[in-house]
Amino acid sequence: MPAVSVAAGCCPASTPANEVVEDIFGLVRILRDGTVVRSPVGPVFCPTTFPENHPSVEWKEAVYDKAKNLVVRMYKPSPAGGKVPVLVHFHGGGFCIGSPSWANVHAFCLRLTADTGAVVLSAGYRLAPEHRLPAAVDDGAAFMRWLRAQSSASANAAEADADAWLTEAADFGRVFVTGDSAGATIAHHLSVCAGVAVEADDAGEAGEQDQDQVTIRGYILLLPFFGGVERTASEQAECPAGAGAGSLLSLDVLDRFWRVSLPAGATRDHPVANPFGPDSPDLGSVDFRPVLVVVAGLDLLRDRAVDYAERLAAVGKPVELAEFAGAAHGFFLHEPGSEATCELIRAVGRFVDSCVISASEAAA
């Protein structure tokens, strides 16, 4: 594992050993000797003017993995009105930056809770390059195990092991896994793992889902961060018309994220990055729950997400595609109070409602 330090300011004068070889927005710098320097200063795209609270939302933090010091920021409607659906959310940041505590992520989760009336669980995960992939995906799976433990403890009246603040509001029979950008990629991999487990269970193999108190009804992929060696048209466009020259996400940044986060020596066709790479699992054999894929028309990643949705649909998987034609990558984080963000959350709400209704009809 590389050495890690937190810079008090900018990097010192460059020498052969401490020369910066990778730099991500000044937030993460990798030195030639392998040291990783993380800035203690928050990013400029997380302004302090974003709201810290909402009148109809309560929130708090909990540690879900003490050994790794991984935190979940939990949100629920206030006042409480009975059990409500649960949205598990993983933040973005190219697997290298980001946190549930960042102001833009927090503001979005506040609004997501307020507007959908759901419990939102914004889970952190280990970041690269200190922890290269698949560490983030493994942490996503670990969080789902923590959620199952919460549900099981609550169902068995073992209140000492359950967080009553959460369990009194959460309907563990209506759980959705959502993610933004890299977090959406985590959601994809969790959907594949769950779908493979269902297939194995149907084949008569024992699985943990037999005793599962958590029922995942669907997955919501917000501007997923997929990669591949072969460039797409939207990637080749570099700066889509209307995105603006100051757009944070460029092809160079995308490549840098993958270079820093993938296992050493791996290409962008690695299964973690490319769902359709040469070594990726056959998605046609996966028992997918309904998937909502959201894309932004001015996003370099647009074409990969559209291709993902179209290829799932072509093999009969339950997938919906929603496109925000005039939006750029991360639009709902940069402007959490915008009308586009409002429409996005409405789309999420409609998807949640439709999955719940479909499940009820199937059970009838």
The catalytic residue positions are: 181, 299, 329
Could you give the CA distance from residue 76 to residue 106 in angstroms, rounded to a whole number?
Answer: 13
Q: Cα–Cα–Cα angle for 19, 24, 29, nearest 5°?
A: 30
Alpha carbons 352 and 23: distance in angstroms, whole number: 39
In this structure, are strands 170-180 and 36-38 parallel, antiparallel, or unpaired?
A: unpaired
User: What region does 97 belong to: left with phi over 0, alpha with psi -120 to 50, or beta?
Assistant: beta
Encode the chain in three state secondary structure.
CCCEEECCCCCCCCCCCCCEEEEECCCEEEECCCCEEECCCCCCCCCCCCCCCECCEEEEEEEEECCCCEEEEEEEECCCCCCEEEEEEECCCCCCCCCCCCHHHHHHHHHHHHHHCCEEEEECCCCCCCCCCCHHHHHHHHHHHHHHHHHHHHHCCCHHHCCHHHHCCEEEEEEEEEEECHHHHHHHHHHHHHHHHHHHHHCCCCCHHHHCCCCEEEEEEECCCCCCCCCCHHHHCCCCCCCCCCCCCCHHHHHHHHHHHCCCCCCCCCCCCCCCCCCCCCHHHCCCCCEEEEEECCCCCHHHHHHHHHHHHHCCCCEEEEEECCCCCCHHHHCCCCHHHHHHHHHHHHHHHHHHHHHHHHHC
